[in-house]
């Protein structure tokens, strides 16, 4: 299993600018986060009000949660668990009978939300064919199908403490401290125990013990499982304060996710946990990053308890009687020399924890700002435009730039463009392979072969086309036989042939000269020539 992992975070995503599903789902994830908090804070134990308004609330809840799957399938399990956890804590918060928990009410409410979230998107589930699954509806849907074939255990390359602190230390410091300092509160109207009646619990020691064991056995994030249990326990006993209980729920969910990614990964074409780390760490980044600010504020704003004292407060002295004033003053002068020294105030452990977390947070914040600062400085010097306004590698020359502009103006998306594909497939090539198609929106016969193989691997018919297409593109450019080239151009319904610097460096002038006999040059500047192929109507299979 490869050791390489992706640890992307929102700043990098926004700077990169690729509209991948995990980026497009960010606002919907925040919406689901707010929905879970609003559910936990409801004034009654029901997920919606009675009547038409309540059913509209249920539909909206199902729409928000269900949309996560069709936008970014990785997000649905996480935010659905978050919502169901909030619904569970809502029942805890409004349960007045410690001997009976409303499991039935929780079950039908949670089941209703799950049912609605899937029912609203039934057409998607019935017709969607994932190119990374099998070819049949429903069974091709990622995550929900063939679970045992999609999940594998992690045996090596587990996350170390240093990597965890680099990625999550900024958020983990205030959140873990919050979990320990937010002491359990019994739900009202149960009386709160006095300090001397509180029995010590071994649960707070579970996290540090698991951390030590995890370091010894090479599984440091075993501690996250302990943190998840501890935080969820605290969330239940803090349910009377929804905001604080919700933070603890998020700590528990994040800990469970981090533990899970070190326990197993979802299989893909790479056969590594690279994408599992990528997608789930991204979720934890959003969850913990959003709530860490509240935890830090709580640690700073919450007053520290005053240490208990064993001595009783002094009683007020009686007013001096007539004739006793001078005698008392004389005694005070004598007592000042012999009065015992008052003991120094004891250091409050919680106060020390708060200050320590503050110092850690500042240190982690300084470290976290290094990448954005250096990136902004470096990119400001390079100064490129954004999106299609910028220049792709194909547009580094004036001829290339003019050719792209010509295609944008004269070609249409229903036509097909031919440009060369290198033997390696061209993925992430600095020379700009498949860049003409990407810059103009005109389909090409085949783009980045590696990506095509990755995202079409579940469709055998599409997968079997990749190698022949790559070979045919090479043949069209390399052959000296005009008829062979024309037959292949007709096979794919090619409208335009692009000959630029890449093609001239890869193929002989003699092989490229044949295009003058089978196509018409419609653009020519410098080393770039664009040919238009005249094909009979209804010819070819298209791109």
Give me the residue spans of the domains in the chain: 10-191+202-301, 393-533
Scored b (16 or more CB within 10 A) or e, 369-387 reads eeeeeeeeeeeeeeeeeee
Q: Which of 52, 47, 60, 50 is nearest to 105 (CA)?
A: 47
| Span of 2-6, 275-279, 334-338, 361-365 with lowest mean pLDDT | 334-338
For the cut 50, the answer to whether the pLDDT of residue 189 exceeds it is: no
Q: Which of 161, 164, 151 is nearest to 264 (CA)?
A: 151
Higher pLDDT, 162 or 311: 162
Residue 141's pLDDT is what? 55
Interatomic CA distance for residues 440 and 162, integer angstroms = 44
Residue 311 pLDDT class (50, 70, 90 cuts): very low
Higher pLDDT, 342 or 227: 227
Residue 422's pLDDT is what? 83
Residue 193 pLDDT class (50, 70, 90 cuts): very low
H helices of 426-459, where? 435-440, 449-455
Residue 128's pLDDT is what? 80
Q: How many helices (H) and strands (E) does the chain have?
A: 24, 6
Interatomic CA distance for residues 318 and 46, integer angstroms = 61
| Span of 32-41, 253-262, 372-381, 474-483 with lowest mean pLDDT | 372-381
Residue 319's pLDDT is what? 53
Indicate the pairing of strand 519-525 with strand 496-499.
unpaired
Q: For the segment 407-440, what is each residue's pLDDT rounded down to a tens digit? A: 999 999 999 999 998 887 777 777 778 889 988 9
| Span of 14-28, 111-125, 298-312 with lowest mean pLDDT | 298-312
| Span of 174-183, 346-355, 409-418, 476-485 with lowest mean pLDDT | 346-355
How many residues comprise the chain? 543
Residue 424's pLDDT is what? 76
For the cut 80, the answer to whether the pLDDT of residue 391 exceeds it is: no
Q: How far apart, in Å, are the Cα atoms of 347 and each of 195, 306, 351, 355?
A: 18, 10, 8, 12
**Are the C-beta atoms of 106 and 57 separated by less than 8 Å?**
no
Strand partners, 264: 153
| Span of 229-238, 252-261, 313-322, 457-466 with lowest mean pLDDT | 313-322
Q: Which of 79, 68, 76, 59 is nearest to 119 (CA)?
A: 59
pTM (predicted TM-score): 0.79
CATH number of 393-533: 3.40.50
82 Cβ neighbours under 8 A, 6+ residues apart:
32, 33, 36, 249, 250, 253, 287
Q: Which of 403, 464, 470 is nearest to 437 (CA)?
A: 403
Higher pLDDT, 521 or 336: 521
């Amino acid at each position: 299993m490869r050791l390489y992992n992706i640890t992307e975070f929102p700043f990098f995503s926004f700077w990169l600018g690729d509209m991948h599903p995990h980026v497009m789902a960010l606002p919907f994830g925040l919406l689901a986060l707010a929905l879970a908090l609003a559910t936990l804070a409801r004034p009654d134990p029901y997920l919606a009000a009675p009547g038409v308004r309540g059913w509209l609330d249920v539909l909206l809840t199902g729409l928000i949660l269900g949309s996560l799957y069709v936008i970014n399938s990785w997000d649905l399990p996480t935010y659905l668990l978050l919502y169901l956890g909030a619904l569970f804590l809502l029942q805890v918060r409004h349960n007045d009978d410690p001997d009976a928990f409303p499991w039935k009410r929780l079950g039908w409410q949670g089941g209703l939300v799950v049912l609605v979230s899937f029912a609203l998107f039934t057409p998607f589930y019935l017709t969607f064919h994932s190119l990374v699954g099998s070819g049949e509806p429903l069974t091709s849907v990622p995550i929900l199908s063939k679970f045992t074939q999609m999940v594998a255990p992690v045996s090596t390359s587990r996350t170390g403490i240093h990597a965890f602190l680099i990625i999550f230390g900024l958020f983990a410091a205030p959140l873990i401290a919050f979990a320990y300092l937010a002491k359990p509160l019994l739900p009202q109207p149960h009386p709160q125990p006095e300090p001397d009646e509180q029995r010590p619990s071994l649960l707070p020691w579970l996290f540090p013990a698991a951390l030590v064991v995890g370091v010894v056995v090479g599984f440091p994030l075993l501690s996250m499982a302990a943190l998840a249990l501890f935080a969820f326990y605290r969330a239940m006993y803090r349910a009377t304060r929804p905001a604080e209980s919700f933070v603890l729920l998020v700590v528990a969910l994040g800990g469970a996710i981090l533990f899970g990614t070190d326990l197993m990964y979802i299989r893909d074409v790479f056969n590594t946990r690279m994408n599992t780390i990528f997608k789930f760490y991204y979720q934890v980044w959003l969850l913990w990053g959003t709530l860490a600010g509240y935890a830090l504020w709580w640690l700073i704003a919450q007053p520290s308890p005053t240490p208990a004292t064993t001595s009783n407060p002094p009683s007020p002295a009686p007013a001096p009687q007539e004739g006793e004033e001078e005698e008392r003053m004389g005694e005070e002068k004598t007592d000042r020399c012999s009065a015992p020294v008052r003991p120094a105030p004891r250091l409050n452990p919680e106060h020390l924890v708060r200050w320590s977390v503050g110092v850690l947070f500042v240190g982690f914040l300084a470290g976290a700002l290094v990448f954005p600062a250096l990136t902004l400085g470096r990119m400001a010097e390079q100064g490129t435009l954004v999106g299609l306004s910028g220049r792709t590698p194909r547009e580094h020359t004036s001829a290339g730039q003019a050719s792209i502009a010509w295609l944008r103006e004269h070609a249409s998306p229903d036509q097909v463009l031919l440009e060369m594909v290198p033997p390696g497939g061209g993925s992430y090539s600095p020379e700009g392979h498949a860049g003409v198609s990407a810059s103009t929106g005109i389909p090409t016969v085949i783009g980045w072969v590696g990506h095509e193989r990755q995202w079409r691997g579940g469709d055998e018919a599409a997968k079997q086309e990749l190698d022949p297409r790559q070979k045919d593109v090479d043949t069209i450019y390399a052959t000296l036989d005009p008829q062979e080239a024309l037959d292949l151009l007709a096979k794919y319904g090619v409208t335009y042939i692009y000959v630029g610097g890449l093609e001239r460096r890869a193929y002989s002038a003699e092989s490229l000269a044949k295009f003058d006999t089978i196509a018409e040059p419609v653009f020519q500047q410098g080393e770039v020539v664009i040919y238009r192929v005249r094909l009979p109507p209804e010819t070819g299979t298209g791109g």
